């Protein structure tokens, strides 16, 4: 069995290596900034590093990954024709295509259609891009550690109203798409914009309800800092931890374990907010082409990159709230004790790398979802938002609230969450009894033609 060892070794070393280097640079630069400028200057470093470097670079890489990974999932090769001048013999996994894409978008004419509202037309891409980008400001991408005598937070801003900021800013993004649709003076673009806003309305409720359980559980809406959701998840459930030699193990109070239903709700709703397949009705390639149909050049590029930035930001938010932030599921105390007081930035860098690796994994999950599931019809999206996610969200809030009231140590909540996960896993691993249904059918009615049988399976789930 021949394996591509260069790809395996490359992806196992280059990606974590680059991430580690970036995070370590962030901690050290932050420490230097605090030392030589003023206390709190490391937040400025974080703005540049986390938002402009990490999020933008990963989002840009995702434009290529979208095509390359989808090719891998569909047994194709993917883009490999663009070459660098001195490396004509190597496709470099398609990386030069990023350069060609950027060049193309930057050099194309930014065309404004006749009778379009010029101000709003130019404003819309910025309005679509900026809020998504700003969303990442509150996501902590690493633990708070002491560097050069200063406490360095790996977050651009840490307001105590963290999640409320998230909801507010996330809703702003739809102004860009609606304005783009309206100001283009194009019926199809307008239709796309209207669809985007109605989709946002039907998912905003589920988006909020999905997080309410976590807010109750941790009694906070803050993300970063020692009392924030991210750091609280590094703790074990009280009494459910022990030591294996020097390593601490236990059941961490990760949001995914406490609130699996909340996670699925928030994930589905936030996925719908990214306007990517299977929730891509605002684009609707087969029907209306989308709210950005009149945009060209880098203005279209802004809409496109905003979509990928949304993917990265959504991954970061999900990890900060549901997957333990930068922390490992066990051994965090042991890892911290490995490094002396002068080397705490190394501990922070390792956990920061863990955070970004989790982000890459969740980005993969989102891309895999986008390339696996058929898109929802418009009415199915509304049905899913209002008739399925909303009741589940309400029920989840009441059940979680009751369990937390009954047992404030969150153990009852964790047990309920564990049961939910186990049921889901059991249902996934046991085969769907489609065959027995067919057999029963034959027993009653004699031979059945395959076509009539398949038609039932092809019905979307919303119909059942």
Partner 1 sequence: MDHAHDHHDEASKPTDVRERLFLPELLHGLAISTRKFLRNLFGERDPNPQVVDRTGLSLVTTVQYPDEKPIYPPGYRGLHRLVPREDGKPRCVACYMCATICPAQCIYIEAGEYSDDDHATESRVIEKYPTQFVIDELRCVVCGLCVDACPKDAIRMDTYKHTPAEYTRQGFVYDIPRLLRGPPVTHPSDPWYKRGSSEEPDHVHKEAHTRIGEGLVPLKLPGGHRVEVDTSNPVAVTKFIK
Which residue ranges make up the site for partner 1 (CB under 8 A)?
1-4, 7-8, 69, 71-77, 264, 365, 368-369, 371-373, 424, 427-428, 430, 432-434, 437, 441, 445-449, 452-453, 455-456, 461, 464
Min. distance of Cβ 379 from partner 1 in angstroms?
16
* Closer residue to partner 1, CB minimum distance, 36 or 445: 445
* Closer residue to partner 1, CB minimum distance, 387 or 437: 437
Is residue 203 within 8 Å of 269, Cβ to Cβ? Answer: yes
Q: Angle between the 390-406 and 411-429 helix axes, to the nearest 10 degrees?
A: 140
Is residue 74 within 8 Å of 370, Cβ to Cβ? Answer: no
What lies within 8 Å, CB to CB, of 198 at 6+ separation is 382
* Closer residue to partner 1, CB minimum distance, 37 or 424: 424
Q: Angle between the 260-273 and 162-183 helix axes, to the nearest 10 degrees?
A: 30
What stretches of 184-259 show up as alpha helix (H) in DSSP? Answer: 187-218, 229-232, 255-258
* Closer residue to partner 1, CB minimum distance, 77 or 99: 77
- Residue whose tokens read 């909303």: 390
* Closer residue to partner 1, CB minimum distance, 39 or 438: 438
Min. distance of Cβ 278 from partner 1 in angstroms?
10
Min. distance of Cβ 198 from partner 1 in angstroms?
22
Min. distance of Cβ 272 from partner 1 in angstroms?
15
Closest CA to 350 of 57, 53, 22, 58: 22
Is residue 326 within 8 Å of 140, Cβ to Cβ? Answer: yes
- Identify the helix (H) or strand (E) that includes residue 368: helix 344-372
Phi, psi of 249 (to 5 degrees): -130, 160
Min. distance of Cβ 87 from partner 1 in angstroms?
16
Min. distance of Cβ 413 from partner 1 in angstroms?
20
* Closer residue to partner 1, CB minimum distance, 286 or 428: 428
Min. distance of Cβ 257 from partner 1 in angstroms?
17
For residue 431, with 0-12 CB atoms within 10 Å meaning exposed, 13-18 middle and 19 or more buried, which class applies? exposed
* Closer residue to partner 1, CB minimum distance, 90 or 432: 432
């Amino acid at each position: 069995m021949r394996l591509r060892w260069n790809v395996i070794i490359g992806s196992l070393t280059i990606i974590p290596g680059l991430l580690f280097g970036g995070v370590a640079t962030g901690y050290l630069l932050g420490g230097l900034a605090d030392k030589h400028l003023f206390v709190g200057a490391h937040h400025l470093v974080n703005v540049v590093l986390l938002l402009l470097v990490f999020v933008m670079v990963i989002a840009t890489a995702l434009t290529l990954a979208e095509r390359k990974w989808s090719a891998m999932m569909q047994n194709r090769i993917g883009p490999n024709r663009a070459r660098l001048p001195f490396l004509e013999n190597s496709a470099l996994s398609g990386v030069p295509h990023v350069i060609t894409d950027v060049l193309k978008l930057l050099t194309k004419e930014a065309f404004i259609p006749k009778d379009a509202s010029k101000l709003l037309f130019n404003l819309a891409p910025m309005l679509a891009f900026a809020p998504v980008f700003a969303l990442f400001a509150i996501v902590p991408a690493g633990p708070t550690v002491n560097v050069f005598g200063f406490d360095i937070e790996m977050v651009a801003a840490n307001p105590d109203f963290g999640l409320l900021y998230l909801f507010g800013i996330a809703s702003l993004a739809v102004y860009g798409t609606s304005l783009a649709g309206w100001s283009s003076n194009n019926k199809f673009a307008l239709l796309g914009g209207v669809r985007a806003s109605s989709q946002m309305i039907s998912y905003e409720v589920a988006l909020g309800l999905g997080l309410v359980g976590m807010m109750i559980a941790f009694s906070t809406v803050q993300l970063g800092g020692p009392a924030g959701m991210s750091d609280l998840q590094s703790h074990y459930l009280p009494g459910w931890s022990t030591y294996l030699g020097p390593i601490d193990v236990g059941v961490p109070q990760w949001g995914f374990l406490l609130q699996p239903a909340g996670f699925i709700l928030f994930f589905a709703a936030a996925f719908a907010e990214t306007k990517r397949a299977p929730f891509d009705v605002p684009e609707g390639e087969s029907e209306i082409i989308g709210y950005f149909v009149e945009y060209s050049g880098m203005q279209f590029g802004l809409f496109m990159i905003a979509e990928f930035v949304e993917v990265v930001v959504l991954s970061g938010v999900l990890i900060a709230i549901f997957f333990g932030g930068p922390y490992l599921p066990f051994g965090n105390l042991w890892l911290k004790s490995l490094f002396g007081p002068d080397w705490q930035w190394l501990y922070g860098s390792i956990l920061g790398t863990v955070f970004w690796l989790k982000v890459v994994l969740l980005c993969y999950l989102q891309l895999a979802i986008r390339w696996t599931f058929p898109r929802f019809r418009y009415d199915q999206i509304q049905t899913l938002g209002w008739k399925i996610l909303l009741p589940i969200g309400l029920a989840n809030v009441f059940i979680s609230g009751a369990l937390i009231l009954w047992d404030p140590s969150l153990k009852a909540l964790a047990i309920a969450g564990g049961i939910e996960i186990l049921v889901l896993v059991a249902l996934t691993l046991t085969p769907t009894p489609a065959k027995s249904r067919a057999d029963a059918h034959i027993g009653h009615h004699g031979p059945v033609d395959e076509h009539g049988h398949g038609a039932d399976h092809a019905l979307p789930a919303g119909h059942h």
